[in-house]
A and B are shown apart, each in its own frame.
Chain A
Amino acid sequence: MSLRTPIWLFVNLVQPLVWLLLFSRVFERMVDLPGFTSDSYLQFFAPGVIIMTVLFGSAWTGMNMIQDMDLGILDKMLATPVTRVSIVLGQVFGSVSTLVVQALLIFLIAWIMGVDIATGFPGVLLTVVIVTMLGLGFAGFSNGLAIVMKPPDPLIAFISFITMPLKFLSYAMVPSDLLPGWIQVAKTFNPVSHSVESVRSLVIVGYEWNVIIPDLLILGGIATLMVLWATFMFRFRTI
């Protein structure tokens, strides 16, 4: 779908590019502060940009579900023998697959701009896994919410309300040591932090399995829960 409406692909890619090109310059000297694991802010920030793109992309996917309901697309599908579960899973996985491609493109651009990936190609593959789980989590959450709420306005308000703090209360822009203590506590419950942490580790340090494995488990758990939530809401609200 995105390929047929090039404007969206463009917008979705330009925004992270602005992040990469502009903000990596704005915050260039940040790395002089103690607590940074890298001496290049771009290196530090690129994983954050990837994760933010996936976060926003997936958190808004519920809008597609609402649109399908409004345009009668959903009813038309529900009147066919397609299993109910595959309709909602198709929505969630479809959106996430687009986002994975976007994440890879940003990775490519960051690499061209001079970001070294400590773990190389296997690290990129592992990033795909992390990003997929993050995307599934938020897409599942968003779709489940869309089914419950139905009219788009509360969903828009709610998604904006939660994505902003999730971003700033994460490690996306600043390393954990520089964040106040309470945010570090909040981080434990923030899937955005877990994904940034792992991807950053893969890019800057290498395979820090003691960081990556717990993060993967948490992200996987959240993804499973949220996809189940969307599926149950869908089963509950439709015949």
Chain B
Amino acid sequence: MDEPERANDSIAVKDLVKVYKGGVRAVDGVSFEVKAGELFAFLGPNGAGKSTTIKIITTLLKPTSGTAEVLGMDVKIHSARVRSSIGYAAQEVGIDENATGRENLVLYGHFYRLDGKTIRRRSDELLELMDLTEESGRQVATYSGGMRKRLDLAISIIHQPQVLILDEPTVGLDPQTRGHIGDYIRNLVQELGITVLFTTHYMDEADKLSDRIAIIDHGRIITSGTPQELKDEISGDVVSLTLTTDGASTSDGVLDSSREMLRHQPFVREIQEIDGDLNVYVEKGETDLPRILRVMDGNGLTVQTISLSRPTLDDVFLKYTGRTMRDEEGQRTTWARMQRDVRRRK
């Protein structure tokens, strides 16, 4: 067995590149490490390359170049061993709707070649842990979205993996259920000492849940660190200005002159424009907000609304990309989704 290079890293990805047929560079030189016992978030908008990276680490895709190691094992060379030591729950809950919750658990227990006794014991434990004991005898088709996700989580750890990889574990769930799933994931890390790598496009989720974050955009990691470190990169406060009412578009002239004016103020660090609004990054919001107003007024520019906030990960993303990371998720009407919707309606 190969000696792991750095025993501390559960996942080590180096210069990973994936070019799909047709030339799309989904992953463009990604490197990062996840330490043992860490809860690591991979944050980025849809299409940033998160899922592709995850699929390479889980041995579902071959990288074009670069390496990915799980517990010191290269995913290309030792794919079978990697599969045995990771748990994986994808965006889509890939479980048999016609079988019961327990049957699904047992099936996957067999996939991981556990013996019947162990499967029974662990199924009981995991159903208990995920609060599904009562529903375990019911067909999955009758489960709610949150219950399916919990079952999917239970299935992914039936073989007690050291590393758990979750692709968008909370996508498509309502905010309250999202929070619950987050709690379950935290619980797994604390109770079982599992290393977790998860992707999300929810800023608040990455912020609250993770020990460390890598922000990815256009197939590249643009920055990484603890949530606090990242937010500290945006020193000071954010003052947001709206210059128009009722969504009427601000004329470029007004925007440009406001920008120009504010840029020359000594207390302004940076200005970002989003959809006709201005985000002004200042040192100390409480004193700088009135100053901004005075400057604008003095130059005959009207401010419709003004607000002051502490920097969020959204501001971090904005700083590096010049864009906000809105939820760009359009409802994908794939065959699968349609079928599932039809089935649920029945």
Enumerate chain A residues within 8 angstroms of B94, measured Cβ to Cβ. Answer: 68, 71-77
Which of B79, B113, B335 is in CB contact (< 8 Å) with A70? B335
B340 and A4 within 8 A (CB): no
- Tell me if A80 is interfacial: C-beta within 8 Å of chain B: yes
Given A70-B339, A75-B90, 15 more A-B residue pairs with CB atoms under 8 Å apart are: A67-B339, A70-B335, A71-B339, A72-B93, A74-B94, A75-B60, A76-B89, A76-B95, A76-B155, A77-B111, A79-B86, A82-B111, A152-B335, A239-B60, A239-B79
**Could you tell me the distance in whole angstroms from the C-beta of A155 to the nearest C-beta in chain B?**
11
Interface residue A81 (Cβ < 8 Å from any Cβ of B)? yes
**Chain A nearest Cβ from B199, distance in angstroms:** 14
Question: Is B58 interfacial (CB 8 A cutoff)?
Answer: yes
Q: Verify A78–B60 contact, CB threshold 8 A.
A: yes
Task: Judge if A164 is at the interface, Cβ distance under 8 Å.
Answer: no
CB–CB A81/B90 < 8 A: no
Determine the chain B residues whose CB is within 8 A of the CB of A157 once the complex forms: none
Instruction: Decide if B335 touches A79 in the complex (CB within 8 Å).
Output: no
Which residues of A221-239 have CB atoms within 8 Å of chain B's CB atoms? 238-239
Known contacts A73-B95, A239-B59; A79 and B88 CB within 8 A of each other: yes
Report A-chain residues with C-beta under 8 Å of the C-beta of B96.
1, 73
Kindly state whether residue B99 has any CB partner on chain A within 8 Å.
yes
Give the interface of B toward A (CB within 8 A).
Answer: 55, 58-62, 79-80, 83-84, 86, 88-96, 98-99, 108, 111-113, 139, 155, 334-336, 339-340
Which residue of A has the minimal Cβ distance to B336?
A70
CA distance A82 to B88 in the complex (A): 14
**Beta-carbon contacts of A165-190 to B below 8 Å, as 1s and 0s?**
00000000000000000000000000
Interface on A for B, CB 8 Å cutoff?
Answer: 1, 4-5, 66-68, 70-82, 151-152, 238-239
User: How many contacts between A and B, using CB within 8 angstroms?
Assistant: 70
Chain A residues near B84 (CB-CB < 8 A): 81
How far is B58's CA from A80's CA once the two chains are assembled, in angstroms?
9
Nearest CB of B to A170, in Å: 32
B141 shortest CB reach to chain A, Å: 9
Q: How far is the CB of A27 from chain B (nearest CB, A)?
A: 37
Which B residue sits closest to A80, measured CB to CB? B111
Assess whether B111 is in contact with A72, with CB atoms less than 8 Å apart: no
B336 in contact with A71 (CB, 8 Å): yes
**Does the CB pair A67–B336 fall under 8 Å?**
yes
The reply to whether A4 and B95 contact each other, CB–CB distance below 8 Å, is no
- Known contacts A67-B339, A72-B90, A80-B112; A239/B61 CB under 8 A: yes
Known: A77-B111, A80-B83. A4 touches B98 (CB 8 A): yes
A80 adjacent to B339 (CB under 8 Å): no
Partner of B83, one of A66, A67, A70, A79: A79
Question: Can you list 12 pairs linking A and B with CB atoms under 8 Å apart?
Answer: A5-B98, A71-B336, A71-B340, A75-B60, A75-B90, A76-B90, A78-B60, A79-B58, A81-B83, A81-B111, A239-B60, A239-B79
Nearest CB of B to A139, in Å: 19
Nearest A-chain residue to B334, judged by Cβ:
A70
| CA distance in complex: A66, B334 (Å) | 12
Q: What is the CB-to-nearest-CB distance from A59 to chain B, in angstroms, rounded to a whole number?
A: 19
Of the candidates A68, A71, A79, which one forms a contact with B59 in the assembled complex, judged by CB atoms under 8 Å apart? A79
The residue of chain B having its C-beta at the shortest distance from the C-beta of A7 within the complex is B346
Q: How distant is the Cα of A16 from the Cα of B108 in the complex, in angstroms?
A: 36
* Residues in B whose Cβ lies below 8 Å from that of A67: 336, 339
- 7 smallest A-B Cβ distances: which pairs? A72-B92, A70-B336, A72-B94, A76-B94, A4-B98, A73-B94, A79-B88
Chain A: minimal CB distance from B61 (Å): 7
From known contacts A4-B139, A73-B95, infer whether A80 and B108 are also in contact, taking CB-CB under 8 Å. yes
List chain A residues, Cβ under 8 A from B98.
1, 4-5
Contact partners of B58 in chain A: CB under 8 A: 79
Q: Is the CB of B112 within 8 A of A4?
A: no
Name which residue of chain B comes closest to A66, CB basis: B335
Complex: chain B residue closest to A78, CB-CB: B60
Specify which chain B residues have a CB less than 8 angstroms from the CB of A73 in the assembled complex: 94-96
Query: Shortest distance in angstroms between A161's beta carbon and chain B's nearest beta carbon?
Result: 20
What is the minimal beta-carbon distance from B144 to any residue of chain A, in angstroms? 17
